[in-house]
Structure 1
Amino acid sequence: MPKMKFLLYSVFLMIVLTGCVTNDESPNEHEKMNEETGENTTDTTYNYDGDGGFLWKIDHEETTAYIHGSIHLGHVDYYPLSNEIEEAYASSDIILPEINMFEVDITEEELNEMAIFDDGKTLDEVLSEDVYNHLSDIFKKNGVELESLNKYEPWYIETLLSGFVQEESDLSAEYGVDLYFLQLAIEDNKEIIELETVESQYDMLTGFSLDTQTDRLETFIETYEEQAEGLNNLGYHWINSNTEEGKEGVKESLSTGFESSDDEFQQEMNDNRNIDMANKIDDLLQSNSGQTYFAIIGAAHTVIEPSVPSILKEKGYDIERIY
């Protein structure tokens, strides 16, 4: 997959990464000796072989829709997923991802046009000196001079930090659940219909006020050192979400990300998108095509209210939680 598409994946991980740092009741902790200090430190090892995921089913006359709460990053040990989820995919005629990553076509010039300040501002002007210096240190550790990115808006800098976090974590976009099913859909010659467009998602990100972008970036920078472990923790709980502990772990991690954000971010990133995706699934169900649809959306869109399942329930559908 082209490198630009992996960058695009990072863009939509902000809700997962920022604030997702709680790590209570870690799965397998053991003590090890720090070679430099001689002190014991705690190391966490995660088992990513599980049966996780969230799955709902809606039947409307002759038409069926499955809604799968997925995760955009994953681990090779995730697969295959639970029988219920794999069978839901296999029985489906049409796949509904948020966006089809294999159809994304954005040039570096187009990305720069969206990401560069258009009013002459620079990053060091909108961040405090201490925060900017901390950010600079992070970039230096990753082989990048922050000064070369001074003209880019905060939302774009956050996507680059997300990429660093992914590299430090156990998870990667290569093994993301939505990508897994998209690859299967192409191999199985299933029809793919996007629930959103990459243009609408970029419009959302670039449309956030500078205050919202700056607050998000500052929070990310402040918690940067904890983010990779938080992401590992989320990935572990997701693949083990057939257990009550796993389900609650996913909800806690995703909710924490929203709690650190302002109302503008929550409204645009979750509420409005969930309404739009639910409306599109509603339209497909009402068309009564007699086909079976398999929607693959981020788990946050299924557990943070108003969620896609709860919106569809309010529309009068009988929704069955099957996994």
Structure 2
Amino acid sequence: MNISLILIVTLFLLSCSPVLKTDPSSIDTKTKDSTAQEDITPSPAKGSLCEEGARQKLWRIDGDSSTVYMFGSIHFGIPAFYPFSDEINQAFEKSQYLVVEINSQKEGIGSEMAELMKAGYLSEGETLEQKLSPEVYNQLEETLSAMGVPIAPFLHFRPWMMAVTLSVLQIQSLGYSPEMGVESYFFRKSDDKEILELESAEYQMKLLSMLDGEDFLSYTILSGESAKQQMQALSTAWACGDSVSLASIVLKDYSEHIPGYEQIYEEMFKKRNHAMARRISELAQNKGVYFVVVGAGHFLGEDSIISILAENGWVVKSL
């Protein structure tokens, strides 16, 4: 299976989700219909993704005067993700703080993202066609056309920004949306809670800009046919708490397919996990009850937040 930005968008980088919304050249496309409503309340699933009793993973560490719950997110969701188990909802209700990668609800976030996204635009006089090989540009135009999306609004995007945008369009075309994502679900229920951030939108955008845009764009185009399969596999493994299957998808060595994959893993996964684990450890040394929601990929493997916390002496309980 060719790997695209789908894994990065859905499991690692929350700031990708508002890309199309904050794009000043937003367009009316077939894929936009699924996210047109700003306030979507998830309804009970018509059909469960899992067998009865299976559910998403929840972890907990306890300090002298604190409890920190940790929950892995998929940033783009569907109604079948909901409702969550009573245990997960009760843990959230007990919490005084919601802790996320980025607080997409804070005042001024729209203008902040719009400003940051300027880094994704080419200099005046440059076009995307000039930055791509004829083969990749033609493939992109054909891929967008098949989705009912014109290429014109994206002609001044840098290749990495186009790759991210295409992956978002692919995900949305399958019926997934950030409004139905896990963070959005908890944001809507957090009126009485203080929201804390582990990262910043600026930091996440810098991570995206380090990608080799044309290579990632090419792989995202090629993997379009398997996007549905990828999302179904990810969604089922996550919803059913199947960490083994989820890890086999996320932690697969993609170095043969993606130039510079080792650096991407180091920057987007390993370094971020250590930084987030340090911050979670600091929270656990304070007073209060915290509910941490970050991309599910950060809780997988030897370099996961869970493993790092355990290595630093915390007793991590799987609930």
TM-fit CA distance, 1:272: 1.6
Q: Please tell me whether residue 225 in structure 1 is matched to residue 225 in structure 2.
A: yes
TM-fit CA distance, 1:151: 2.5
Rg larger for: 1
Counterpart pick for 2:141 among 124, 136, 151: 136
Residues 160, 217 of structure 2: 8 Å contact kept:
yes
Paired with 2:81 and 2:114, the residues of 1 have a C-alpha distance of 36
The residue aligned with 2:179 is 174
Residues 131, 218 of structure 1: 8 Å contact kept:
yes
- Percent identity between matched residues is 30
Decide whether aligned partners of structure 1 residues 105 and 148 sit closer, same or farther in structure 2, where only a CA change above 3 A counts: closer
Residues 74, 174 of structure 1: 8 Å contact kept:
yes
Residues 171, 227 of structure 2: 8 Å contact kept:
no
The residue aligned with 2:277 is 278
Decide whether aligned partners of structure 1 residues 105 and 16 sit closer, same or farther in structure 2, where only a CA change above 3 A counts: closer
TM-fit CA distance, 1:172: 2.2
Structure 2 unmatched ranges of 5 or more: 1-5, 14-45
Paired with 2:59 and 2:138, the residues of 1 have a C-alpha distance of 46
Decide whether aligned partners of structure 1 residues 306 and 112 sit closer, same or farther in structure 2, where only a CA change above 3 A counts: closer
Residues 58, 88 of structure 2: 8 Å contact kept:
yes
| 1:78-117 CA distance string (max 9 Å, x none) | 2221222122212211110111121222368625521113
TM-fit CA distance, 1:319: 0.9
The residue aligned with 1:250 is 246
Decide whether aligned partners of structure 1 residues 143 and 77 sit closer, same or farther in structure 2, where only a CA change above 3 A counts: closer
TM-score in terms of structure 2 length: 0.77
The residue aligned with 1:153 is 158
The residue aligned with 1:123 is 128
Paired with 2:129 and 2:11, the residues of 1 have a C-alpha distance of 24
RMSD of aligned Cα (Å): 2.7
TM-fit CA distance, 1:192: 0.9
Paired with 2:308 and 2:174, the residues of 1 have a C-alpha distance of 33
TM-fit CA distance, 1:47: 4.4
Choose 111-120 or 68-77, whichever is displaced more: 111-120
TM-fit CA distance, 1:16: 7.1
Paired with 1:180 and 1:248, the residues of 2 have a C-alpha distance of 25
Residues 113, 201 of structure 2: 8 Å contact kept:
no
| 1:240-264 CA distance string (max 9 Å, x none) | 22xxxx3333222222485544122
The residue aligned with 1:200 is 203
The residue aligned with 2:188 is 183
Residues 70, 296 of structure 1: 8 Å contact kept:
yes
Number of aligned residue pairs: 274
Paired with 1:11 and 1:121, the residues of 2 have a C-alpha distance of 30
Residues 10, 295 of structure 2: 8 Å contact kept:
no
Residues 10, 74 of structure 2: 8 Å contact kept:
no
Residues 47, 236 of structure 1: 8 Å contact kept:
no
Paired with 2:101 and 2:78, the residues of 1 have a C-alpha distance of 20
Q: Please tell me whether residue 53 in structure 1 is matched to residue 56 in structure 2.
A: yes
SS at match of 1:102: coil
TM-fit CA distance, 1:137: 0.4
Residues 15, 258 of structure 1: 8 Å contact kept:
no
The residue aligned with 2:102 is 99
